[in-house]
Structure 1
Amino acid sequence: MKAINLAGKLASFDEHWAPRIVGQYNDNDLMVVKVKGEFVWHDHADTDDLFLVLEGEIDIEMLAETVTLRAGEMFVVPKGVEHRPVAREEAHLLIIEPRNTPNTGDPATAVTKETI
């Protein structure tokens, strides 16, 4: 057992919208991800979606409203709510999701999550 250095994990890759698993908590993946630009509109029918901004700023766009998050802020998108994260500049996030949750809401279009 040892501490996980999130900044170090984020420094180990450059790709955007490609979450990396850095640990597990119960049946959840703890992931870091670099984001820039617009992600696809999607929802998760079976789980909420948690976003914690470590660095930068993102908007969580939903059909009814947009929530802006800055470093140190988090937001939970309730399950079934269509949304897309948008980052005008690169931002770094911590995401917690049940293991094997497709990041696009659809296994056919989801990225494979690498463990680092």
Structure 2
Amino acid sequence: MAEALSGIDRLWSPHVLARVNDHDVRLARVAGDHIWHVHDDTDEFFLVLEGRLDIGLRDEGGERVVSLERGSAFLVPRGVEHRPSSPEGASILLVEAGGTLSTGDRATEEVPDHIDSTRGHELG
């Protein structure tokens, strides 16, 4: 994974490390804020490989932030609005249904230039 991550130079641009049945295992380097978005039909699994990742969540219970340190994981359930962010930067592993758009099915804001709206790039 270290070698694969070293080849990813753009932030918020997930690359497919492997495919497991109908799911993608993706790697990404992140820093700053992503956008608020929702995946209507799929859960999204986050594992922090290096650094710290905060995940803002909005649901019927209100708004909250889950902070993940290296080695921590979190599952965002389908249909929950969320926004990952990392003030200092992080490397993460994601698992989600193959072909899932990184900016979700419903984004609640414009996608800025520093975020790659992709279904996952091939490594190498």
User: Which TM-score applies when normalising by structure 1?
Assistant: 0.90
| Cα shift at 1:106 | 3.3
**Identity across matched positions, percent:** 40
| Cα shift at 1:112 | 4.6
Distance 1:72 1:113 in 2: 23
Which of 28, 53, 61 lines up with 1:58 in the alignment? 53
Which of 81, 106, 122 lines up with 1:115 in the alignment? 122
2:44 aligned with 1:49: yes
RMSD: 1.6
Cα distance per residue 1:58-82 (max 9 Å; x no partner): 1000122110000000000111000
Partner of 2:13: 18
Question: Quick one: which amino acid aligns to residue 85 of structure 1?
Answer: P
Partner of 1:91: 90
How many pairs align? 111
Distance 1:7 1:54 in 2: 10
Partner of 1:74: 73
Instruction: Give the secondary structure class of the aligned counterpart of 2:4.
Output: helix
Distance 2:102 2:94 in 1: 10
Q: Which runs of 5+ in 1 are unaligned?
A: 1-5
Distance 1:55 1:79 in 2: 25
Cα distance per residue 1:19-71 (max 9 Å; x no partner): 00011111111110000000010010001111000000010001221100000
